[in-house]
Amino acid sequence: MADPASTGNADFVKAAEDVKNLTYKPSNDELLKLYAFFKQSIVGDNTTTRPGMFDLQGKAKWDAWTGLKGMAKEEAQQQYIALVKELQAKQ
């Protein structure tokens, strides 16, 4: 994955570090949201091909990221930050 610092958003960089130190184990849905917001924040819209039918995890991640198509990188960063804060509150 790309470096969060490349965004120039200090709050996003901090959230990307904070998420690594959660004591609460996020659900699969929460993990997919984190992944999708992170990828949209760094890369933007997903232009990759969908993984094959036997790669269930890859397809779930691809679908989550593709579901954010059209969202601005800055908006995805704000959503990521908000989700990390929400997860921190569950600890």
Say what the pLDDT of residue 4 is: 85
Coil/strand/helix, residue 81: helix
Report pTM: 0.92
Note the maximum CA span of the chain: 38
| pLDDT tens digits, 31-49 | 999 999 999 999 999 999 9
Q: Are 76 and 68 in contact (CB under 8 A)?
A: yes
pLDDT in tens, 7-21: 889 999 999 999 999
DSSP character at residue 6? G
CA neighbor of 89 nearest in space, from 10, 26, 12, 13:
26
How far apart, in whole angstroms, are the C-alpha atoms of residue 78 and residue 68? 13
